[in-house]
Structure 1
């Protein structure tokens, strides 16, 4: 017979004490709670500003804007217009539509991607819901590719290369242009 080490006897004593004070049901309940809590952990809110690295700077008002992108509030048909801070596509303003409406003959996609953009005119940050207009051939005018902070397609909530024409009124999945209506204030 082999002599027990001090470590083995301490572990055995801890196991016996734990077993005498807790039942199987409470152990299984706690294990289940731990597993459910672990599964819900990715749903907690996360500050995603760090994904932009050094490209994020705080404005004097406390709002965030990207370094290198100088938004203006004069010409909505320009790629540096403040509402187009993360757009990747053709502006509907140049294709017969407006900032908030699709051109005739195209239909609005029910899905969108959302970004926050800083308006230099009133020093406020707004949520913009970029929505694609579908059903006509691609407009090809005023193509803007503002992709700073974009992540790969397997992270669709941070990727603006996806054509969001899923579920549009017509059967065509053809992208035409993108509108950028304001959803509300972000600050």
Structure 2
């Protein structure tokens, strides 16, 4: 019985030794370090991949281009925030009790009805608690990086008001873009 056990362990040792030698011949410490480094750097880049800032909200129906209470309304092409038209205000006016921000960002949106480009002033409405029952819209057409303040929509524009609490956002037409 002991002889059979010694034979079996010797056989397993030879198989393990052959496998180890093949692995050592086919790879080096440098290749191991290179693969490990690639996996480490690749793992660090995963959080930098695109992510969904709409928090899983589904897109509205196709006819929403004419609906001012839907994120797909043409004036909202550069809007980032809650719609005042769903919070008691309108497309261009804040709800009662909220005041319009003193600073703003401007976007250029194309009206599909007449094919013209319009300058749209996006103003945050300040002074009330955030409007939770409104859809959160995040459209970033022609948005510029954060260091170009007037062309960036991810800023709380209520910062110049006495009450800096954000409530919702309106999209007022300024004129036709030339």
Instruction: Write the distance in 1 (CA, Å) between the matches of 2:141 and 2:117.
Output: 17
Which residue of structure 2 aligns with residue 182 of structure 1? 173
**Matching residue of 1:115:** 107
Task: Pick the structure with greater CA Rg.
Answer: 2
Paired residues of 2:66 and 2:74 also in contact (CA < 8 A): no
Measured on the aligned residues, the alpha-carbon RMSD in Å equals 1.8
Question: Residues 156 and 167 of structure 1: is their aligned pair in 2 closer, same or farther, counting only changes over 3 Å?
Answer: closer
Deviation at 1:116, TM superposition (A): 0.6
2:76, 2:169 → 1: CA distance? Answer: 10
- What SS does structure 2 have at the residue aligned with 1:160? coil
User: Could you report, residue by residue, the CA deviation over 1:48-89 in whole angstroms, capped at 9, with x for unpaired residues?
Assistant: xxxxxxxxxxxxxxxxxxxxxx99642011111100001000
SS at match of 2:137: strand
> Of 130, 136, 139, which aligns to 1:143?
136
Task: Return closer, same or farther for 1:116/1:122 CA change in 2, 3 Å cut-off.
Answer: same
CA separation of 1:71/1:85 partners in 2, compared to 1, >3 Å: closer, same or farther? Answer: farther
- TM-superposed CA distance for 1:100, in Å, is 1.1
Q: TM-score, normalised by structure 1?
A: 0.58
In structure 2, the residue matched to 1:76 is: 68
Q: Call closer, same or farther: CA 1:86–1:71 in 2, change over 3 Å.
A: farther
Q: Which residue of 1 aligns with 2:156?
A: 163
| Structure 1 unpaired stretches of 5+ | 1-69
In 2, the alpha carbon distance for the partners of 1:72 and 1:186 equals: 23
Q: Distance in 1 between matches of 2:131 and 2:150?
A: 25
What are the Cα deviations for residues 86-142 of structure 1, in whole angstroms up to 9, with x where unaligned? 100001000110011100111111111111100001111100000010001111221
Q: 1:131 and 1:94, CA in 2 relative to 1: closer, same or farther beyond 3 A? A: same
Say whether 1:87 aligns with 2:79: yes
